[in-house]
Structure 1
Amino acid sequence: MRRIAILAEGLFGWHYGKTATGVIRYSQDTTVAVIDSTQAGQDVAHALQRPIGEGIPIVQDITEALTYQPDTLLIGIAPRGGALPASWRWQILNAIEHGLNIVSGLHVFLGDDEELRAAAQKHNVSIWDVRRAPEKTRVAEFVPHREGSHTILLVGSDCSSGKMSTALDLNVEAQRRGHRSAFVATGQTGMMIANNGLPVDSLINDFAAGLMEEQVLQFTNSNDWVFVEGQGALNHPGYSPVTLSLLHGSVPDALIFCHKAGQTTIEGYPQCPLPTLNRLIEINEEAVSWLKPERKCRVVGISLITNHLDEQAAREAITQVEQETGLPVTDGFRFGIGPLLDALENHFK
């Protein structure tokens, strides 16, 4: 059990700070403070305007965070490109000098930084670069999953559409109902929470599906329900390859689709409009069918992000998507994840 201070300078929030909010919400480790000078003096729940992280202070810098006696500094953002903001270096060095281990999900590996590595060695602390890929290679072999196991992959219309949180919530609900289930992490935040998984977006393309297949087979051998965290989106102009590697590496039996209510374009690509939800569902189902034409894998429910809407507008958005797709829809955070697990249980009867 770690005592974590999360560094999220200037970016703590639901979107750009999704690593921070994910760890606070789901990790069994204790978050003692969040570092963001632009919101210092609040607590996490106030900053997020949700009942998450009540009593966890947002502080000015690492110096103030140290008064809460953390043993780990976790980098709480995953910026596009994955680089380390230069203005953060002094805070990481300060943490190392005070004996804190470092956890980072950046694409740039802090353990390869000569100054940071030397400081870590001097102070006998570890640097865990979560996105560092395993050295092994494996091409997918299309090995059947254990009979009786159910693999569910989370897909979506864009990045940051709720795939990780929905998978985690479904796993908790499945276990509550008595199912032998597991969550398979495929990204840096999920790995920080679960202490397992693969950083799929850092794997060599030829081996991503194969390494994912190996991972899923390990989980299906010992669990009846396996929820695989999704990444990217099949329609994303930059990150579609990672989604396809998950679709073909996990060879799911069912899909849950994730979407932000009202979104019409890919974030950061205003020239890239989203197809209709029914078309997005169709292309994901079709990509699985290329490998499993005899046993159709389909989307059985939709997880909708509505945290930018008031409650009435959120319920109206859910009703509209239900009518558009004919599928059960919920915002698991606001209204509970139960309808989606109900749909999965009915699908696998």
Structure 2
Amino acid sequence: MSETRLYAGVNDFAADTLWVEAARLMRHPSYSVAVLSYCEAMIARVPKVLPANKLFAQKQRYLVSFILICLHVQWLQSRGPAPSLALLQRSTPGSPRQIAAFISGLRDRGLVTATSLETDRRTQVLKPSLELMREIGQSPLAILSAAEVVAPPLPIRTDDLAGDETLLAHWLALSAERYTVKDDLFGPFPIIVRHSERDAGHLVFCAVMAAALRQRQGGGIAGSLTYRALAERFDVSRQHISNILDEAAEKGWYCVSPGGELALMPDDTFLQFETWVAGQMAHYRRLVLAIAGKTSGAAIPAGAIVQKSDALSD
């Protein structure tokens, strides 16, 4: 197969080297295995010290945390002001009151610390913890691990990246900076976007896609998508699950039967998810290449992440 069809939402970007690489990944014979491994990593039930599904599994709260990581790295690299609450509120879309309440909650849990700036004791510098960064990096790290099925090894292993506070922070910050320059990895995917706006919505979508992939491979777990099963897995109410699945059915994205079986999965939905995963793989792999071999304090300007992307993918 010489060509791979990408989801139509990225047609305007298809000639970019990132999407050329994404299409190459999608052509790999084991690509569906890689996508399934990503989904399974996201929905795996693991003991949690904190209710991460409620803290971070929703777009606004996730974005606030992601931007905080970026602001802190830029400050460490002398490329930006101290990451105070006021700066975070100016840098993140949303209600300043909600952002303040969210950060307060993170501080109470020890996920964010605040210390006075030496040159201005009135300014409280917010620092994200390694635990916070691992939670925010859950999907990117799962993507990177899944990509190992279809792409050559990288100079930094996924486990090493997850365990190194400095590398992880810089890796996530590069991603946030690229997003502010060019949004071709999230915005063009309406089903991904809409699910991310709901508590645990992306996790529910990953569970649905895992069922679809297993179904296509001739397997599957009967009743795995019932309201009860999904609600218990992701620590939300059955009504919340019902709202997510009902909207998906109404919009024709997919349909889950009352018995928890996947009754409909249109090719367009499947292609949208596969394309999104491939774009994420290409993106996060090239960011690993960008930080590999650099000192922990090396600065990489936001524009360079896009402008020099050709060199990173060669």
Higher strand fraction (1 or 2): 1
> TM-score, normalised to structure 2's length?
0.28
Point out which structure has higher relative CO (alpha carbons under 8 A, 6+ apart).
Answer: 2
> TM-score, normalised to structure 1's length?
0.26
